Amino acid sequence: MAFTDELFTRAQPIWDAQLAHPFVIGLGDGSLPEARFRNWICQDYLYLKDFARIFAWAVAKSDRLESMGWYAGVLHLTLNTEMALHREYANGFGIPAAELETTPLWPTTRAYVDFLLRTAADGDMADLTAVLLPCSWGYVYVAQHLAARSAGSKHRYTDWIVQYVSPEFVDAADWLKGETNRLADGLSAQKRERLLSLFETSSRYEWQFWEMCWHGERWPV
């Protein structure tokens, strides 16, 4: 069994809970209220800024030139493709560019990116890939399930689904899975358990991100 299969088995209840979340269901069938999708646009835009920094850490920490080049390419994809699509979404939903830049990080977004950045700074490359995968692979996983459910029907969120089932994003997730398996090869049982725990924590934050965007979130004081 590949190590990524172990990761998936560990977190599958959380990933299945994402598919059952009302935000994700509404994203898939087009019934998601626009105000809730606006929450996602703004918070995910801020999240992507720090997500991109994780790939910059990965370039610096990689153990081989091939990996350095790949992480640099995904850094470019995130900054210039995924974030550009967010700006297009924002424009289509009447969110000014200035609002994207000035919206405050909500508590869950802050906690998630801080967890990722701390792991990238203090951990090794196996740690880093373990915390990246639930976002990179997880969005492809969610979008593929939504695409299967929609059976080709079109609605206002179809572009979101199409983006994350595109070969560009699927190939990126597959490469990162392969890299995680390579880095996990020969590791001790204790280290593998740490990676499983990191993956599980990131997966929980992914579910919590949908929950935050569904309900809205503010600092209580």
Q: Could you say which of 42, 82, 179, 206 is catalytic?
A: 206
Q: What is the DSSP string of 26-94?
A: HHHHS-S-HHHHHHHHHHHHHHHHHHHHHHHHHHHH-SSHHHHHHHHHHHHHIIIIIHHHHHHHHHHTT
Measured CA to CA, the distance from residue 39 to residue 79 in angstroms comes to: 20
**Annotated catalytic, 200?**
no
The H or E element containing residue 121 is helix 107-122
Q: Could you say which of 42, 135, 179, 213 is catalytic?
A: 135
**Annotated catalytic, 213?**
no
For residue 221, the 8-state DSSP code is: -
Helix (H, G, I), strand (E, B) or coil at 123: coil
Residues with catalytic roles: 135, 206
